[in-house]
Structure 1
Amino acid sequence: MVMIELQSYGSLGCLEDERAGLMKLKDAFHNPAWSTALPSWGGGEERDCCKWEKVVCDNATKRVSQLSLSQERYFGNHWFLDASLFLPFQELQSLSLADDALAGFKGVLNLSKLEVLDLRSNSFTEIPYLDVMKSLKSLNLGNNDLNNSHRFKELTNLTKLEMLHLGDNGLMEIPSSIWALTSLKALSLRNNGLNGLLPLRGLCKLVNLQELDLSNNGFEGNLPSCLMNFTSLRLLELSQNRFEGAIPSTLFPILKSLEYVSLSHNFFEGSFSFSSLANNSKLEVFELVSDNNGLKVETENPPWTPLFQLKVFRLSNCKLNDKTRVLPSFLLNQFELRAIDLSHNSISGTVPMWLVANNTRLEFLNLANNSLKGPITLHLNSTHLDMFCLDVSSNHIQGELPPLIGYAFPNLITLNMSSNLFQGSIPPSLGDLRVLDTLDLSNNNFSGQLPELLVTGCVSLGILKLSNNSLQGQFLPSKSNLTKLRALFLDSNVFSGEIPLGILNSSELWLLDLSDNLFSGKIPDWIGDLPLVSLALSKNALEGPIPSGFCKSNELSI
């Protein structure tokens, strides 16, 4: 018996027939035009296939239990994988073939113990035969081409199925077979061509749902009242649809397991009291960006104290606290926020920089299009390494920019302070923002010269908007490091001198607006060498002929 056992396993730690099967799979994934797939399989000194990458074996039996073969052949033409190659793996419980350019299988996957099958991001036009896989609990067919599949009826045989992902498939209707899957805990139909009223007779049967994602479709009508029966619901994603009517305040107190709610980009109306979420202690994400002007959100009346700690809070274009226009006071008790969007709400009061101080891991803050006043104040020596986007545009903020703003937010990618009442000079510390891509200080009262550190230090800058200020002097010295600049707006200032040669360093520039300044001299010939699509030079003191180089571009608009 000992000798027989040694022959089966050898000294490899895994079954010999499974090891041989893995080598055949490796050959199937190989594309001669590219590097060898799964290079660690069968190579080197490691012969125990249970220790190969993307392979997991059962500790007791040494049988292969998981194969993660995603992105092993995502290049080249679509192809069909021979299903018989998986016959050696009869104990396989999890198989991932995501993003492998698969068009389907040759034959039938005969894996009776398979519980997880991930086929997302391929080119399947038909659901594979699933009759044999009675143990399947999770099936991901997202991002394929199943809009004309005729095999959705086979889903009804998967009585143990708990997770079904059919998003990004161009479906024009919901397969009715889904409604028989009463064991479902997660259902995603996101980003299809679905529209009209939800089929409530079917949807309301899925009372065990913990995750429901219907986003990016065209569903209409009121929110289904049977959502109140989904008492285990953790994720509710209904954004980017055409839902309308009121958001029932009686819904959320019942759904105490909610962690994620997104109702953004719909057409809800009426009044919604945020206090109805007070006892949802697990809530981490709440998003409600309205697409019309008919929704009012109240956060102050009645008084309440949240049991949750949010990580993402987006409440935009919602007529927030319409009578008082105050910032939601419950935010004073939030300390774990990563993203805040309160834009387009007509909020008044001073700029709430305490949001940044209280939430030390904040990454995204958007307070644009409100009525905030007062200067921006930062705590001395405070540094917020996670912040990548700060937008306070279109408010009534006055005063000077904090001198150490670049030190406070060293990893900003987007900084938008346009359309305010800022004055004074632009602080040199902005030049410390090495990863900054977009800087918009337009439509303010900034004056003085542009700090040289800005054009030498912001090496990643792609968009710079300084329009409608009172900035003066020369711009862009020859040692400018703005080599990634794509769009430059300097219009309506008092910049003077010749058009600076430093612009030539910006070889990716496609939009240049120098209009309404005091630039003088000739229009340089080298401007015609830039890949410009739009060029504005009017209202300056430029002279001489238009360079012939401008005729090189068929797309340039002057």
Structure 2
Amino acid sequence: MHLDSCNLPSVISSSISFKNSSKTLTHLHLFDNHLPNSSIYSWLSNFSTSLLDLDLSLNNLQGAIPDYVFLNTTSLLHLDLGYNQIVGPLKYFGNLCSLKTLSLNNNSLTGQLPQLFSYLSGCSKHTLETLLLNYNILSGSLPDFTLFSSLRELQIKGNKLNGSFPKSFGQLSHLTILDLDNNNLGGSIPDLSVFVSLKELHIHGNLFNGTFPKSIGKLSKLELLDVSSNFLEGIDLSYNNFGASKISFQDQFLCYVRSLSLHLRNNSFVRELPSSLYYCRELRVIDVGHNKFSGKIPVWMDYTLSDLAFLSLRSNQFHGTLPIALCNLVKLQVLDLSLNNITGAIPKCLANLISIAKKESLDGATNIFYPFPNLVMLNGRKTTMYQDHALLGWKGVDSLYKNTLGLVKSIDLSSNKLSRQILEAITSLVGLISLNLLRNTLTGPIPPKLGRFSYLNSLDLSKNLLTGKIPSSTKLQSFDAPAYMGNPELCGPPLPNKCPEEEPAQNEAIPLHDDKEGFVVEGLYVSIFLGFFTGLWGVCGTLMLNRS
């Protein structure tokens, strides 16, 4: 029977017949009739056990519910008492041994949440699947709700919860939705891997701190995650089992109040990079490498991310040209855009990356530390700092950097479709430790100023269309030949092929020139000797004749 929004009149308790006229009524919906306690409770207490579904939401039920009200409704499967003014305690619901759904949204429930769960720990503990307690005045910590073995959906948002997660959970849970938004829950987030069926996790607007646990990556069914507006220092979702198009980026979910580090590496995220990153103005590390993000590199990635030191979009499906906005990331020390489909020229304004242009780290640190707002437990130790980490490609191998991350200055644009010359703009970035332009279509000569990069330890310019002689310098000649191979018109050490001006004259021409020269000299001596001999005999012969 559905009598929703029918403006039913209030009934005086003394006029109610306690004789139930129906033995077979299973569904009764009285939603939005503004019925008071007097019209409901006495009648309901004498109801038969046939009722399975009861909706009394949006009425005028106030205060505590008497213990006797649900004594005879032991067959109830679904009970909705939302949008009333009910207060606790709720001792009697634990005896509803068939109850699957209990909604008490938008009431005035007070007291400690663990106490409420203890009231529900009767036989309903094994049947309850959905528990909705949104927008009440409940306080305290979260109990171990995994002990409710059938629970699938738990919503407690908009209360006054001021504790924390339990340190551990007792057993695997089949919970699919957990919504704790807008409370005052704090502390660190524990291992969540017991929630193997979780699809939605909402913890927006709380006081959680520390780093988001990597165990979130074991939740292969997760579709929606909102951790915004907390005091989390970083989120590392690297190397996980998230499906290709499953996880949904809730608006600004990545940008909780003090977000400084974002790791989404090695997943299967698709579509464009979340625009909510625009609001993450304190981010220092963004690593979304090895996913399936596509579209152009966002132009909003400029002054709004002015503290960004590490940006990796490696191995995705980004296309288009390099946006000028990247040049405004003046604190950037690591830029990895390799293995994409980026086209066009390297922008001149890369010279604006002043942190790479300096030979020391911007803040003098060898690593990247972030302060926690409070003293927290991390890896079993009390600390106020979190040390970040990142995975970098170094000489063809991915290596984890932690203690020296703050010292690394690297640009990797390899395996794209960049064209034109290597601009002089790059030659101003004298603090570079690694430069990788492998497998593009760059043309022209290698700028001689690259030879002045005294800190450069890794260089790869192979498989391009570079031309001319490799500039002579101790630094450029210190790299092995593979760093330059695959450029057909490039020559000079350390490549084995010599440049045209270094080729000697043809060997066969030299002896021919020498033989001719020797023949001429020999003829000259013979001529002189014959002339002298002939002249001498001419003089002597004349004198002898005259004497005769």
Greater helix share, structure number: 2
Query: TM-score, normalised on structure 2?
Result: 0.46
Higher relative contact order (CA 8 A, sep 6+): 2
Larger CA Rg, structure 1 vs 2: 2
